[in-house]
Structure 1
Amino acid sequence: MCEYLHANIIACANAVLPARTVGNDHIPKLPKDLETLIQHYRFLNRILHSIKLLRKYPHTFSSSHDSKCSGYLIRLNNIFNLYKFIFSAVPVLPSSLFSCQTDNFNNLIQTLSHTSKSLRGLYLLKEKEFQNSSIKAHLKTRDQNFDIDISSFINSALSRSHRRIVLDRVFINHPSAPQLLTNLKDISDTVVNHFQTVVPIKATPTSHISALSDRWRSEYSPMNTVSPNIYSSLLSPPSLEKWLSTVSSMPNGKAPDPSMITYEMLKHLGPTTNSLLLTLIRKYFASADIPDLWRQAMVFPILKLHEWRCQLKNTRPITLLEVIRKSFVKLFYNHLSVILAAHNVLKGGNFAGLPGGTCRDPIITLESIIHDANHNNSPLWILSQDISKAFDSVNLTMLKFALECIRLPASAITLILSLFMNHSNQIFTAYGEASSYRVRIGIDQGDVISLLLWVIYIDPLLTVLKNEMLDPYILRSPTLLSNITDFTSDIVINNLVFMDDSTLISSSKAGLEHMLSITEEFYTLNNTSANHQKYVLISNSLLLTTTSTILPVEFHLSLSSLNDISSISVTPLSITSSFRFLGV
């Protein structure tokens, strides 16, 4: 039924929606008149250079030179007439080079040199005018984007430009046997192997929380403070109005999925097709499962911040999912996120993916902490962690434990896990689609529910950090506010997290060591990799100057059955230096 519906949507779209011929949408970087002026200026200089060579080597002059240059001289006369407004008197060139031999081309060279300088002056003036108008136009566009297109504004402010790769070859940077692959099958096999194994599966997770250590068993146990009744309407059949509202909220202009269906097509469906589609959506909610067609996705590798260099490690995947599936998931996500926010289910403090969740609060909080530490001379240790491929490393068994912890109904858990189980991807290369491969681990970062699932996934860690505080930083309120009745004067903080960005905060090195021991246990338990080389440390307890040699700070961790890392070394930054927090 799902395949039949997809085929009919595409057929109707081809028959009804207006076709558009896609041509070359390249926009010239320079105005046409400036490009023409540059071409004329370069042409004049090439002729001038050739005639200077004739003066230097007069014996090379022949009738063929004269025949060829006669046409060039006529073209130069036309160019001079085109720009006659820059000359006090328009230069007139001879019709033949033979007449110029009497003075060894000196008069002609002098005339061409003078006109070349005049054209160069006009070129520089026009270029300056274009640069000024271009700057004003871009500033105006950027100001407008601040209100209507914030992502474009950020890209412009950070001077980001669109880059692309052509996956028609792959370089294997082996220390002893480097290799450049150009064969279609070799490229396909290498690409599939890279993206299928880019996140290693280090160990098989336990099958039940009873096998976990005491610390984690208690955190993964179902919450006593959450009633299962809050989810009673989660999988109720959606109304047509709610379904159409969800579809209308989806963005336009997005790349189509493997079936080539777009959001615009869904928004133009007729009543009969919408009714049929709603019947399928209700069926999938009732069965807590999705069709096999929705388990297939297309992957496009795009560049990281590094240069391409034909190395797959310099790319990251963008996954295109079925738009009907994404609309279905958005409908489910909208309902679930409202329930979690309304009942304060999550306790860790990471509210990304929930209504009202914003990175503004943690940014302001961190700024307040640094200001407070500087003002009161309080000891402060800040360590920003880097989690490698956070979404791609999510273990579905541990995700199931986290979902059971918030007492989500079994049917809802089954539905969520079905979105990522038995999932297959196809990677797009310069030669078309590579072989399909089975996804072994992780959730799709581009899926609307993935951010919320990550927040649920990491909530046990944040709860442990909150419950086992050691030397947290105490943010004290200003004196004027401390006298207000019922005002909590101090805020105790030991971490700030938003999405997959985690920052540990303490008033002592021992406090950071305690938290690092806990996070390493969680990462091992959940098959997550932390990139210690990208950790950022800032502290006002370290005597750092611009002339001093900065040595790494070694943190000693507590060993356990889940942590075999005894120490981590991080090179600190000065408390007055800048660093990125939540991408800012």
Structure 2
Amino acid sequence: MEETTQFHIINNPINDGSRNAGNAIIISDLFYKHIAKTHTIPGRYIYIKLIFKNKYQINLFGFYLPTNSTTNRQNIYNTITDTYKQHFCNKINTHMYNFVLGDFNDNDVFFNEDQLIPIRKDQKTVPFYRKKFFELLRNQQYCDVQKKLLKHPPNTFKNSHGEFRLDYIYANNLILNCINNTDIITDYCYASDHDMVVMHILTNDLFRPNIDRTRSHDTEQPTNKKRTLNDHYFIKDNETWSKYHNKVNHKLNEPRYNQIFKDTINTHTINTQAETLHQTLIKIAKDTFKIKKFKPQDRNEEPLLIRQLSNAKKKIGTLIHHFKFFVKLHILPTDPHNTNTLPPDLDKFYCKDKFWTERAVTKLTTLSKKFNFTYSWPNILNDQNHDDIKLQLTNLHESINKEYARVTNKHNLHNINKYIERRQQDFNNNQTRMLNSILERKPQKITIDRLITTTDTDEIQLITNEEEIDTLTINHFQNIGSSSHVSTNFTTMDKLPTFWQHIYKTKPKPQILKDQLIAPITSSELQMTIQSLPNNKAPGPTGITYEFWKHFPKRHHTILLTLFNNILQTGHIPSAWKSALLYPIPKPEFWNYQLEKTRPIILLESLRKIFVKIITDRLNKFLHTTNALQPNNQAGIAGSSTAEIILTIQTCIDINLAQNRKFYIMVQDLSKAYDRINLDLLTKAMDRLDLPNIFQTMIINLFKGHKNRIIIGDHLTNSFDLTTGIIQGEVISPILWVLYYDPLFEAINNTTIGGIDLQAEYPKDIYDSDLTENSHKLQLNCKLQGYLDDTTWLNNSLHHLEEHLRIADEFYNFSNIKINKSKCHLLTNDKALVKESTTNIQFGSTNIIVDVVGKNDNLRILGAHFNAFNNHNKLYHKIINTTNHMTYMIKKKKITEDMIIYVINKVILPRLEYMTQHIIVPTHINNRINIILRSAFKSVANLPKNFYTAAIHTPIAPNIIDFHDLQIRAKLANFYAASFNPITSDCIKILLLLSQTNFWYPRSPINIIQTFPKPLTKFNNIERFIHLL
């Protein structure tokens, strides 16, 4: 070992004299003293075992696996893994952190979806011996740290053949939550042709398992800023609500409210009306309800006795740890032939004057008396008494452990019974919490008490200062939708590109329908909206929830109507409505203390949301009645859903496969759609649909001058302006996005080239063979399908697809919409492209490489999984895995029969139904799913395995729905809805006509289709559905 300043190097070179290779571990002085064991295989393997207090242990396994050109590589590998298995502990230990790291000499290895086979990113074969190595790591439940925290881990090695990811850090599950960040270092401060893989671990709480990592609420906040959260009111039984109702009624009867709430066009008066309502309700709430100031909850629920026993265990454990090392270093003779002797430098860490002191003996004596342990602890350690002391320390530790286990088990049993009882109550009162408990669903929450940022010089910084965190967070969410190019002010039509000017021309609508948009809001509209509001939703800045308005006296609804109609008449939004709270939550991946991996939930004023919901319903009705939007862009409009798009895409696949024609279906990814909307262009989009001017002004004013504050831990940031886009959490925002996006759909629909043609024809006279002249034809062309920011392109030609993308790219550029072109995926039955796995497509001015979905793989669109060759085996496997996973969680819970019936019928089966809405699930898959569900029900209900199946699915009593029956009902309902939906009715007609042409049935197809013993391969979805009946 070679010592450097503050660090120790454990060097392990290959001693063959041929080259300078091997591996090494550099460890700081702080951790060096905790080394309990080391073992090496020259140049290939290093094992270091570190022991800490309270039996915590860190195991470091450093590997340098042989390359393909290394001689005797199989023997080398066997030697390494055999030694590694000797050091690996198979026992489950919650105090053991394991790391496997080094140069594995294989490029970006990961496991397939089944977690069975290790494969390489470049699809090359993983050598057999290294395949065994990765399977060993998987079986021992290790996780690739960079794969876990990063979507695309960087490569670590570069040569003339390309870039490769050869270096890895694997960790066990216990340590993953403590890993703060991971990256590679390309700044070479050492002689190597590999980049250094690094990860940062939060060590301050590493050896304290039950520590509360939330920000301490004892920290005083500056008094010159309003940084605390609003009041939260305790709710509130029916009697308390009745008091609130009566107090509001009495207060609003005062004459001054009649003077305030009157028809007006004065914006100052409108502001006063809204503010008066807020302040009145807040004052009454404070007088009526108990107030709870917001502060972080203390999550430490362990009783005092358990905490005392835990501390006693730690103290004795520390003494035993020091005692063993002291005896080994200072009392027992050193065996010169012992290969596992400790490094001599550890001697200074375990000297006598730092270990067995008079104070330590006194504490030990006091602790012994608490547990009735009678032993006189000596003040001196020597070779005569150390064996007895070791025995007594061990006995004391065992006594404390037994008492700790007894008390802990009692406490855990109490908690289990408490939560079982609460779950039973939630079955009637709070089904959401019951489902979260049974299915182990936890709300996504983060604590922004530190941030990781990258400077202009690409240096990574960890920010812990509260003021800096506030500033960075405000800057991120304020500029989340900003773009690099200067936004255009589309105040006049000539500001638009020439091609798009005729697209944005106003399309006149009936005046009577336009007047309905801005007609005075009626009492029935207000009451229906208030009754439809959900309970237990987070309030906005004032703390006024929906329940406040549900218990608002109906006789005073005229006050609300006066305010709402004044807003509708003037287009002015009260200033009290122009503030909101943002609550950041993580995206599906680990957020890694990076704000880019979070998204905000916005908390708006509840009265504003009521008003906006009313005008949203009006706008929705207007768009539906006038058919103002393109038929393939109907998201959020009454009567539309994702089902139309899913049916259209599957129909395109079915017909093109049957007619042996190529098709190309491409999906694209939009980034920050709502945040990047140009308000001037939104005005043009609304004017295009002939919305009243005052209505347009009111919509724009909802987002102009808006201010947000961010909830960070136990405080709020300073307010900041909404500079771009619209509010994602506003109820009207989805429809506004559809309006904003609709011009692209019109431009693409107006093109005369491209798309996928769906066509069916049948003869007028069966004796006339000339179909060209004497036939009925039904045609449908599908070019583009959109649902909010999910966009799907359909075409029979790549050339025509590129022409449509050129038009789209121009629209995206001037409308400030950002496309992640690198995330486009292509679904096609073109076998040449499928074999290549990628293809180049000209997307506007950019030539992009698009991933082509494999022959057996699926493309997920709106939650449905499509295969270009109708090979649905992976989807069958997925729904079976989903069912297994959810029933596995259910079986572990102590729940009643009613609960499991509720979970299966209301959660599991609806999820499976949605995933399979575009296909017909075969009988054997139906049976397998039913078996899994029945098995879970029998397990929970303690029924024998041979219990009658018919009794479980009987409709007479509460029962589990048979998946086969559910599929028939769901498909029948979908077929009926699609047949009468103007968007999808042509798809159904074409499928039926093609079926009639194929089988030449003169009457109902049911009798003919069902004569087949099993569905034919060439059956389309309609025919498979008929066969299912």
TM-score range, shorter-chain basis? 0.7 to 0.9
Structure 2 match to 1:534 = 823
Partner of 2:849: 569
Counterpart in the other structure of 1:580: 860
Structure 1 equivalent of residue 622 of structure 2: 339
User: Do 1:301 and 1:316's aligned partners in 2 also have CA atoms closer than 8 Å?
Assistant: yes
Tell me how far apart the structure 2 counterparts of residues 231 and 432 of structure 1 sit (CA, whole Å).
45
Do residues 553 (structure 1) and 856 (structure 2) align?
A: no
2:364 to 29, 47, 69: 69
State the partner residue of 2:287.
Answer: 15
Quote how far apart the aligned CAs of 1:454 are. 0.8
Equivalent positions of 1:3-42 (< 5 A) are 3-20=275-292
Instruction: Identify which of 500, 516, 526 aligns with 1:233.
Output: 516
**Distance of 2:555 and 2:863 partners within structure 1:** 46
Q: Distance in 2 between matches of 1:151 and 1:222?
A: 51
In structure 2, the CA distance between the partners of 1:151 and 1:526, relative to structure 1 (3 Å rule), is: farther
Identity of aligned residues (%): 27
Structural mapping, 1:173-252, within 5 Å: 173-175=455-457, 190-198=472-480, 199-200=482-483, 202-210=486-494, 212-213=496-497, 215-223=499-507, 226-252=509-535
**1:231 positional shift:** 2.4
Alpha-carbon contact 2:368-2:396 (below 8 Å) kept: no
**What does the per-residue CA deviation read over 1:20-43, in whole Å, with 9 as the maximum and x for residues that have no partner?**
576775667999999999888767
1:166 counterpart residue number = 448
Aligned to 2:47: none
Letter in 1 for 2:277: L
1:509 aligned residue: 798
Change (3 A) 1:117 1:218: same
Amino acid paired to 1:449: I
| Farther off after superposition, 369-378 or 270-279 | 369-378
Moved more, 43-52 or 322-331: 43-52
CA distance in 2, matches of 1:282, 1:292: 16
Question: Per-residue CA shift, 1:46-67, capped at 9, x if unaligned?
Answer: 5654664576456956776654
Match of 1:362 among 645, 664, 668: 645
CA, structure 1 residues 54+216, in 2 after alignment: closer, same or farther (shift >3 Å)?
closer
Correspondence 1:414 to 2:697: yes
- Amino acid in structure 2 at the alignment position of 1:171: T
Letter in 1 for 2:501: R
* AA of the residue aligned to 2:507: M
Q: Distance in 2 between matches of 1:64 and 1:180?
A: 40
* Matched position secondary structure for 1:219: coil
How big is the shift at 1:542? 4.8
Of 780, 786, 794, the match for 1:497: 786
Instruction: State the AA in 2 paired with 1:404.
Output: D
SS at match of 2:862: coil
Q: 1:39 to 1:471 in 2, by over 3 A?
A: farther
Corresponding residue for 1:87? none
Distance 2:638 2:669 in 1: 26
- Paired amino acid for 1:534: K
Task: Indicate how the Cα distance of structure 1 residues 455 and 35 shifts in structure 2: closer, same or farther if over 3 A, else same.
Answer: farther
Q: TM-score, normalised by structure 2?
A: 0.46
1:93-492 counterparts in 2 under 5 A? 95-97=375-377, 104-105=387-388, 108=391, 112=395, 149=432, 162-166=444-448, 171-175=453-457, 190-198=472-480, 199-200=482-483, 202-210=486-494, 212-213=496-497, 215-223=499-507, 226-271=509-554, 273-370=556-653, 377-429=660-712, 432-468=715-751, 470-474=753-757, 491-492=780-781
**Superposition deviation, residue 167 in structure 1:** 5.5
8 Å CA contact 1:165, 1:303 repeated in 2: no
Using CA pairs below 8 Å that are at least 6 residues apart, which structure has the higher relative contact order? 1
> CA shift at 1:162, angstroms?
1.9
Cα distance in 1, alignment partners of residues 805 and 427 from structure 2? 44
SS at match of 1:255: coil
SS of the residue aligned with 2:446? coil
Q: Provide Cα deviations, 1:536-555, integer angstroms capped at 9, x if missing partner.
A: 2232215367xx774x4222
Range with greater deviation from structure 2 (28-37 or 377-386): 28-37
AA in 1 matched with 2:841? F
The CA distance in 2 between the partners of 1:487 and 1:72, in whole Å, is 96
Deviation at 1:149, TM superposition (A): 4.4
> Residues 178, 44 of structure 1: CA spacing in aligned structure 2 closer, same or farther, 3 A cutoff?
closer
* Aligned partner letter, 1:494: K
Deviates more, 1:232-241 or 1:19-28: 19-28
Alpha-carbon spacing, 1:355–1:43, altered in 2? closer, same or farther (3 Å):
farther
Root-mean-square deviation over aligned CA pairs: 4.7
Instruction: Quote the Cα distance in structure 1 between the aligned partners of 2:449 and 2:327.
Output: 51
* Worse overlay, 533-542 or 192-201: 192-201
1:169 to partner: Cα distance: 5.6
Q: Deviations over 1:357-416 (max 9, x none)?
A: 322332344345445555654322121111111111111222122212222122222221
Contact 2:312 2:400 in 1 (8 A): no
> 292-301 or 494-503, which moves further after superposition?
292-301
Post-superposition offset of 1:293: 2.6
* Larger mean Cα displacement after TM superposition, 105-114 or 357-366: 105-114
Give the number of aligned pairs.
Answer: 545
- 1:96 CA displacement: 3.1
Contact 1:423-1:439 at 8 Å conserved across structures: yes
> Is the CA contact (8 Å cut-off) linking 1:155 and 1:161 kept in structure 2?
no
Partner AA of 1:269 in structure 2: F
Tell me, in whole angstroms, the C-alpha distance in 1 between the residues paired with 2:641 and 2:489.
32
Note the C-alpha offset of 1:218. 2.7
Q: Which residue of 2 aligns with 1:80?
A: none
Letter in 2 for 1:453: L
Letter in 2 for 1:450: S
Q: How much does 1:117 deviate? A: 14
Residue-by-residue CA offset, 1:309-328 (whole Å, 9 max, x unaligned): 55443333333322211111
Alpha-carbon deviation of 1:515?
Answer: 1.8
Quote the offset at 1:4 in angstroms.
Answer: 2.2
For 1:379 and 1:554, how far apart are their aligned partners in 2?
A: 17
Query: Is the contact made by 1:385 and 1:503 (CA closer than 8 Å) also made in structure 2?
Result: yes
Q: In the alignment, which residue of structure 2 is the partner of 1:560?
A: none
**Mind listing any 5+ residue stretches in structure 1 that lack a counterpart?**
78-92, 558-562
Q: Name the amino acid aligned to 1:202.
A: V
Corresponding residue for residue 895 of structure 2: none
Do the aligned residues in 2 keep the contact of 1:538 with 1:575 (CA within 8 Å)?
no
Give the aligned partner of residue 81 of structure 1. Answer: none
